[in-house]
Amino acid sequence: MLLPALSSLGHAKSALIQSQLAAWNAGASDCYRQIAENIANETALSVAAFATLLDNFVNELALRPAEPEKCWEDACHANQWQGHSLSPPSPERLGRAIPINTYAEFVSKADGLMSPDECGDFLRWAGMAGTVLAPSERRLLQKSLIGRFVIWATFYASSTTDCPFIHMPRTTEAVRTALGLGQCSETETLILLSYHRGTLALYRPTVAEAAGYHWYRPRADPAATYGMSFPLTPNPSGLPSQPEVVHPETTGATLVFPVYLVT
Amino acid sequence: MSDPVPSPADPGLQHLEGKPFEAIVAWLKSALRGHESLPKVVPDESPVDPILRRERSLSRITRDDLREACLTLVRRFVRSPAEENDNDYVGWLLRLAKGFNLDQIVADLHGLATRAEAFYALPARQQQAILFTLLDLKAPLPGAFWQGVTTANPRLGVIAVSALLRDDCDAAMEVVTMLPGDEAVADALYVGLNQHARKLSPPDLQSMVALVKQVAPDCAPEIRAVLEEWLTVHMRQEATHVASSPNYDALKAALAHYSGKPFVPKPQSARLIDSLAAA
């Protein structure tokens, strides 16, 4: 998709983008080398949407030529939700893995009445096997955000009503490998959230949602309705890649209990 | 059109090595406003955890500079709090200070929180972030401070309860009676009491149950409802603790039969020690 999008922008803009991508390809940053590759391989955007994203990028570059990474990220933020839309109801059940401290911050901010450390302690207990939450404890999680800005979620493709984590070993190692969470260490404590889709709009992710996050990999098939994660290596158990969708931020109103803690 | 700029090295923190202190302050401020690329586990992670994860790989001097930069920014905020309207920045700055365990900031934040005119003029999110930091740093503040917070804003009293429960359960319960009848406050109170109860020995839990029973009738209806719910759960648990378990008794009998001598467990928890002493 990149070449037709570049062609539609005209020679000068196209040349600038190509030279910036070449600079990233030759640069010291693994992160932006991968992002340049992702841009070249993106198939989920229409030519028009890709051209708009790239045009925004050029306009940002004209304003801040010394900060191409920030220009790219700002252009991305202005061009989200352009991937294929998944019409409801399927997948009905979604899931996301989230570092415990990040989720504790969301829970703390929900009403602003419990500190992040208190929420972290609560989540460590709530995520233990066999914990049954009282109504007050459930409400706290139901009104908290489960993510901010763009939420990356997975689902179980073979049975989209199942919890997406049910067929995955409950360890950080397995979850980070299968979901391709490259910056997640094996010692990170994660919370696995599973929730009903409800009325959420779901989209196939694109480079625009990934912005400066370089663990995204575009799927080669332009007709695919959702993305796929890129499992980390090594992957001794041969964990398969997992479906990926993105959706706007939402609360845990449709959370399915229990939540799981993995270490 | 200008020439493309080469990309910087990966978004770790190594680029801070050797930088002058003022440059580190400027970078930290920009990072805490979400303007710097950081190695995040998930894209919506705050800047705080990536900094805390990666700072361990820095040299001692740069780590010290980073802590000093954080302290500098906290003190700048405390000096002129009204000038800062980025709530996320304030929350993340104080969270980082807590992550660095900068307990020097307790005096600064306590000072700000006692300047009622300045403190209560701040956005609610900033007030909460300040009180959370004092709470999470386990600042040994006088009970009168937390009672003052509750008097000024009864909703924030639930934060005061969490702080007071650590040292003075009676004072905490006094604050509970001042809490407004609000579902969010009631839920936070339930979760806070539950978390605290899990850390208590059985005798301390019994004292807490007695105190909660005593204050419940004096509370707002929503608060009373969650206290009663909490009492039901904990009184049931207490009853389970003291009752003999048929499975445990059967196991003891089987072991005694097998080994020819009575089974004597080696208890490691306060609860088991107490139950054995009672037996």
Q: By mean pLDDT, which of A18-27, B189-198, B233-242, B266-275 is the weakest?
A: B266-275
A68 and A97 in a single domain? The answer is: no
Residue position matching structure tokens 């020439």: B3
- Chosen domain end from A58, A79, A100: A79
A184 and A57 in a single domain? The answer is: no
* The model's pTM: 0.90
Structural domain harbouring A157: 86-262
Q: Is the pLDDT of residue A223 over 70?
A: yes
A103 and A179 in a single domain? The answer is: yes
What's the confidence (pLDDT) of residue B275?
54
| Residue of B267 and B66 predicted with greater confidence | B66
A257 and A141 in a single domain? The answer is: yes
pLDDT tens for A109-139 read 999 999 999 999 999 999 998 899 999 999 9
Pairing state between β A190-196 and A93-99: antiparallel
pLDDT tens for A234-260 read 999 999 999 999 999 999 999 999 999
Q: Is the pLDDT of residue A90 over 90?
A: no
A68 and A198 in a single domain? The answer is: no
Could you tell me the pLDDT band of residue B5, with boundaries at 50, 70 and 90?
low
Tokens of B41: 């586990």
A75 and A90 in a single domain? The answer is: no
Widest Cα–Cα separation across chain A:
63
Q: Closest-CA residue in chain A for B124? A: A112
Tokens of A206: 């694109």
A41 and A93 in a single domain? The answer is: no
A127 touches chain B (CB under 8 A): no
Tokens of A105: 């911050």
Q: Is the pLDDT of residue B245 over 70?
A: no
8 Å CB contact of A68 and B35: no
Q: Is the pLDDT of residue B24 over 60?
A: yes
Q: Which residues contact B35 (CB under 8 A, 6 or more apart)?
A: A70
A107 touches chain B (CB under 8 A): no
Vertex A211: Cα angle to A247 and A51 (nearest 5): 95
User: Looking at residues B94-116, what average pLDDT do you find?
Assistant: 98
- Measured CA to CA, the distance from residue A16 to residue A2 in angstroms comes to 14
Predicted-complex ipTM score: 0.92
A18 and A112 in a single domain? The answer is: no
SS3 B130: helix
What's the confidence (pLDDT) of residue B1?
43
Tell me the shortest Cα–Cα distance from B277 to chain A, in angstroms.
Answer: 29
Bridge partners, A153 (sequence order): A245
Tell me the shortest Cα–Cα distance from B49 to chain A, in angstroms.
Answer: 8
A110 and A196 in a single domain? The answer is: yes
Q: Is the pLDDT of residue B267 over 50?
A: no
Which secondary-structure segment (H or E) carries B197? helix B183-198
Residue type, position B66, single letter: L
Closest C-alpha among A30, A23, A82, A24 to residue A52: A82
What's the confidence (pLDDT) of residue A72?
97
A199 and A229 in a single domain? The answer is: yes
Q: Which residues contact A155 (CB under 8 A, 6 or more apart)?
A: A91, A93, A94, A95, A164, A243, A245
Buried b (16+ CB within 10 A) or exposed e, B91-128: bbbbbbbbbbebeebbebbeebbeeeeebeebeeebbb
Q: Is the pLDDT of residue A89 over 70?
A: yes
Residue position matching structure tokens 């479906």: A243
Tokens of A215: 């663990």
What's the confidence (pLDDT) of residue A157?
94
A142 and A257 in a single domain? The answer is: yes
Burial of B178 per CB tally in 10 Å (0-12, 13-18, 19+): middle
Query: What residues of A are in contact with residue B93 (Cβ under 8 Å)?
Result: none
